[in-house]
Amino acid sequence: MIYALYLCLFWLFCLILLIAWKRPLFKKTWGEPYFSDSPVIIESDDWGPGGDFHATRLNKLLSVLSTHLDSANRQAILTADMVLAVPDIEQINKHNSYSRIYLDKFPEIYSSMLAGIEQGTFVPQLHGMEHLNGNSFAKLCKNQDPRIKSAQSTLGWWDWETLDSPLQGHYVDGSSLPTTPIPKSEASETIELAANLFSKLFSHPSTSTVAPCYLWNDEIEAQWNKQNIKTIQTAGYRCTGRDATGKYTQNPSIIRVGDKNQLGQTYLVRNVMYEPTDGKNNAETAYKEVIAAYKQAQPITISTHRYNYTRSEDQCASSLAGLNTLLSKITQLPKIRFLSSPELGEIIETPGKIIENHFNNSQWKSVTPLIGINKFSAFLYRLYYRHQKLVLASYITGLIIPAWIICKISSSSVKG
């Protein structure tokens, strides 16, 4: 008995030292959003103008989503990050200045999007006017740059995903490295035009966004804010450019869900990768990331780009099968809620708010946050998954034992 007392006193002493060492970290982590009902967001970049077969592929994807229901009996939802236009190659070559073809000039894919909105499985979100920088692209065309040779020989729809990666940035000029931010006037004009066109195409403004290639800076955030964009999706960091070697420059290098910038805009974070066409992850690896986020009472935000579903028939079929498997496993977890990114941003800003899909005017019961002592297990899991020095200290001191016991007892009572 006396040894147990000594051990508890030792642990208490170690805990006091840890708190003194990491108090700001503990305080910030405790103040993050926690959820009893686990939001699940499916984010898919790069939807926009495309061939008619894109409409067929999107319909198949939305059909898969419609078969999966959450604890509120709501279907899974695709937050589709929208590219609103593609280069008009013919006009660019003719006039040596940038020209666009807009999404509504591609009736098959546009109609499928509108049908998905009505069905409740598709929520559009602004990605950018294009998935490239128009002015620099026009200059490359004028100079017959070999990097865009395939684009210049194409009329109508053209797959910008075949561009060299540095050329796909929207809010930077990546025609040469290091990249340079676009001028303030260009940012203002482009974002205002995109915001207005988005509202026209989808009958409601985009209150959330994600930047192409995760490349944006303070000035872009300010222009988004002028268009009432209050939520910014990230990959857990912000990239302001690429250096002379093409490496991304991160600032800030770490972003957590619910963090805010100086303008009060809320950051979201993708924490599950399902990009099987890249060969880097699949339903199995994605589900491991789902469980990690679930234990931490975080929103489960799945990244799955358009190209997983618009390349070859075999790749599409494989991607759909894997997504179906992943969602089947997710919906077996207790208290799962399917949301879109703008809806998640709204409930972080106003906890307990009724969920509103502003694009089809449907409403759903609020998502329950995790508050007070009930979030202690998730708090410990966040420290465990994020901070290896703390984990090492917990193993050395033995604090991992009471932490593990607390997590098991607390998580079973809260999530069960």
Residues 100 and 242 occupy one common structural domain: yes
Of the segments 6-15, 334-343, 377-386, which one has the largest average pLDDT value? Answer: 334-343
Residues 128 and 268 occupy one common structural domain: yes
Identify the H or E element spanning 81: strand 78-83
| Composition of the chain by helix, strand, coil, percent to 5 | 50, 15, 35
What confidence tier does 55 reach under pLDDT thresholds 50, 70, 90? Answer: very high
Judge whether 145 and 89 are in contact, CB under 8 Å.
no
Greater confidence (409 vs 91) lies with: 91
Tell me how many domains the chain contains: 2
Identify the H or E element spanning 140: helix 134-142
The model's pTM: 0.93
Residues 16 and 45 occupy one common structural domain: no
Residues 282 and 382 occupy one common structural domain: no
Residues 244 and 381 occupy one common structural domain: no
Residues 362 and 380 occupy one common structural domain: no
- CATH code where residue 334 lies: 3.20.20.370
Range with the poorest average pLDDT among 219-228, 288-297, 372-381, 388-397: 388-397
Residues 108 and 254 occupy one common structural domain: yes
Residues 212 and 232 occupy one common structural domain: yes
What confidence tier does 157 reach under pLDDT thresholds 50, 70, 90? Answer: low
Residues 148 and 130 occupy one common structural domain: yes
Range with the poorest average pLDDT among 2-16, 108-122, 183-197, 309-323: 2-16
Residues 405 and 348 occupy one common structural domain: no
Domain encompassing residue 13 = 2-29+374-415
Residues 242 and 324 occupy one common structural domain: yes
Concatenated DSSP letters for 215-254?
A: B--HHHHHHHHHTT--EEEESSS-EEEE-TTS-EEESSS-
Residues 393 and 308 occupy one common structural domain: no
Distance separating alpha carbons of residues 365 and 349, to the nearest angstrom: 16
